[in-house]
Structure 1
């Protein structure tokens, strides 16, 4: 949506849920735009629950209390925010809800499915101390990127974007920080391998 035409709120029609289901509706819509460029006039509209963000983002502004649904309509306040990378914000939003480290890595660059399956924080930490596994993951990424430095540079930028958004939001989750550190080591290793292969 154009930043210059953001409404103060959005009214969302609601369907009647099954009688046994108590719905948990979003409380706000974030209009997420880039803080890097004043030329970017678009904002990504992202529904959120204020409690989820307040519990995990130390630097997120306080969100006003939304109104309750009235006559099968939910009115959500629209809150403009600026982060270095709106695309990276959508990855972080998903993590704040499901805490899946594998989804974070999948969003950054390709990795072997057997490594991502049931990925845990302990696996991330163990991988960081294993030069052999780090090398294998970097080699996999290098081959998946066809040893192309431009592609690997884009992957590096995605990791950096996620890191910058985390700092901006004050998202201090140890598991997520360790996963970003792992992603950085893998992509730098892949770039080094690509350079060696070109020589």
Structure 2
């Protein structure tokens, strides 16, 4: 096996191992725990890639992301996800976080050697309360450009899809009751093109033979 093939294989394996941790199906909220749950969904229309939304704490040092798909995979088979409608695939995420104030500060797409980021910063603030779940909304990635199977351009829309998403949550996590969920997004909110236009960078490894 030559060095070039070995490096490519290693890159595929390491990149394809990324995953997003979500709560277990039998998770139960506990007001005395000091923790709450973030609920949000990510969907996409276009080629299979890794579609991510990044958040961090305003009053703590926590940083994280929710991601649907993978930027590079040995076998590029799209995940089943939680729903498939309007020619989109998507997943609803439920992530335990310590109580506090947070914000979504950017989105990103990883597609092969291409990395796409928003041209302008975004700031979607939300609060996590102990013993409660906060529904933040849906982030929908729509492919606008490509190079072969590589996604090189997207538009990201942000909206309230609570009727779909919270129904999925009730089935995946039956111990999270509707009375324990607060909305961190306005009713029927719909924002087009958050972060403005996109910026595509390429991360092509230099192989020394």
TM-score bracket relative to the smaller structure: under 0.3
When Rg is computed on C-alpha atoms for both structures, the one with the higher figure is 1
TM-score (norm 2): 0.24
Structure 1 or 2: larger helix share?
1
TM-score normalized by the length of structure 1 = 0.25
